[in-house]
Each structure stands twice: as C-alpha cells, then as structure tokens.
C-alpha cells in the first residue's frame, strides 16, 4: 500500500500561514490524497482531499504537485484552534471506494 511521509512537527505563529508538506512518491494514478486533523481526545476531522488539481475549501487549500508525488496543505491564517495532528493519507481503492491508511502525521503547534 502507498505510504506518506510527513515532518513530525511544525510550529507556526498565530495568524500566519502554515504550509504542511507530504511526500507520497509511490502514489498510484487512482489514489486520492486526503488530509485529516485530530485534536486531543477527539476523532479525526476531514480537512480536504483531491486527486490531481489543487483544491480550496473554507478550512484550507491543497496544492498537489504535477507529478502527484507530493502535496502541501495550506492553512491560510493559523489560529490556536488549528493546533492538532495533521494526517496526510492516500485513499487506496478497494471495490467501489477507498481505504484510508493513516501515516504518522504532523503535530502542528500554534503560538500566540
């Protein structure tokens, strides 16, 4: 199964942008790139996902490299509530839909 590689941790100042990198060099053509975040004592929360094109939503932006071997999650203005573990995950196809297999994730620390 395709795997992802992320930095263990990143620190950001409040109201600054945060760029979270993810490498997935073994990605297949049909694998979706998902990002989830998890706050302490909570379940993972969907952030964004994409296949080939860059994606934007109210929470974040996802920039996907042209060769799809890497991607970057962009939080435009970090707040203290954005402090969480961020997981970059490949959705591996099984039958009709995918199977999410989590990597180690990046701990994001936001300082005031």
Partner 1 sequence: DTEVTQTPKHLVMGMTNKKSLKCEQHMGHRAMYWYKQKAKKPPELMFVYSYEKLSINESVPSRFSPECPNSSLLNLHLHALQPEDSALYLCASSPPSRAYGYTFGSGTRLTVV
Q: Does 8 bind partner 1 (CB under 8 A)?
A: no
Q: Which of 87, 106, 108, 110 binds partner 1 (CB under 8 A)?
A: 87
Helix (H/G/I), strand (E/B), else coil: 83: coil
CA gap 78, 16 in Å, rounded: 6
Q: Where does this chain touch partner 1 (CB under 8 A) — which range of 7-15, 19-27, 35-43, 66-74?
A: 35-43
- Cβ 62 vs Cβ 34: under 8 Å: no
- Cβ 28 vs Cβ 2: under 8 Å: yes
Site string for partner 1, 51-80 (x = CB under 8 A): x-----------------------------
Q: Does 93 bind partner 1 (CB under 8 A)?
A: yes
CA gap 72, 24 in Å, rounded: 11
Q: Residue numbers of the site for partner 1 (CB under 8 A)?
A: 32, 34, 36, 41-46, 48-49, 51, 87, 91, 93-105
């Amino acid at each position: 199964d395709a795997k992802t590689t992320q930095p263990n941790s990143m620190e950001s100042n409040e109201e600054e942008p945060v760029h979270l990198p993810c490498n997935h060099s073994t990605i297949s053509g049909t694998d979706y790139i998902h990002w989830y975040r998890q706050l302490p004592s909570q379940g993972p929360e969907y952030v964004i996902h994409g296949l080939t094109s860059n994606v934007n939503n109210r929470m974040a932006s996802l920039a996907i490299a042209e060769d799809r071997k890497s991607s970057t999650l962009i939080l435009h203005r970090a707040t203290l509530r954005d402090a969480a573990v961020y997981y970059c995950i490949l959705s591996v196809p099984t039958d009709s839909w995918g199977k999410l297999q989590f990597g180690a994730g990046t701990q994001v620390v936001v300082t005031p």
